[in-house]
Amino acid sequence: MRTILPLLAAALLPAQAFAACPASPPEGAAASNPAALEQGRRAFLKCRACHTLPEGGKNLVGPNLWNLFARAPLGAADFKYSPAFTAAAPAWTAAKLDSFLEKPSKHIPGTRMVFAGIPAPEERQALIAWLAKETGCK
């Protein structure tokens, strides 16, 4: 047992680190590409009136997004989600977020996130890569 435990820990730790991040987009070109990250940072200007990203950041009109890809659904502390959002209880993956950000009201009808959406796929991908980086994904 004594020899097995450290081995188990070694095997599990990388898996946990991986589970904390989206399985797609932020992998790939966008995440390591400074130009895409810069595009993502600029895209977030559309979001920042309503969202903070850092750990412990305030909820504004929308929830703080720290740890978005790893936290439990509806996981922003002290944020009152809408009934529609509560029913959907989205567990965010990059693919789900991509679909949500294209048109929030279509992905989760009745959401209180009043935002038309981002039609350009590459802008969404860049934004998702930026979000992953800024919300604690390594």
Which residues here bind ligand HEC, judged by CB under 6 A? 46-47, 49-51, 61-63, 65, 68, 75-76, 81-82, 84-85, 90, 97, 101, 111-115, 118, 127
In contact, 138 and 45? CB cutoff 8 Å: no
Q: Which is nearer to ligand HEC, 11 or 78 (CB)?
A: 78
When the beta carbons of 113 and 129 are compared against ligand HEC, the nearer one is 113
* Residue 17 C-beta: closest distance to ligand HEC, Å: 21
SS3 assignment, position 92:
coil
- Compute CA 74 distance to the chain's CA centroid, rounded to the nearest angstrom: 12
Widest distance between CA atoms in the chain:
56
User: How far does the chain reach from its first CA to its final CA, in angstroms?
Assistant: 31
φ, ψ of residue 53 to 5 degrees: the values are: -110, -35
The one-letter code for the residue type at 60 is L
State the minimum distance, in angstroms, from the CB of residue 44 to ligand HEC.
6
In whole angstroms, the minimum distance from the beta carbon of 27 to ligand HEC comes to: 18
Q: At its nearest, how many Å lie between ligand HEC and the CB of residue 7?
A: 36
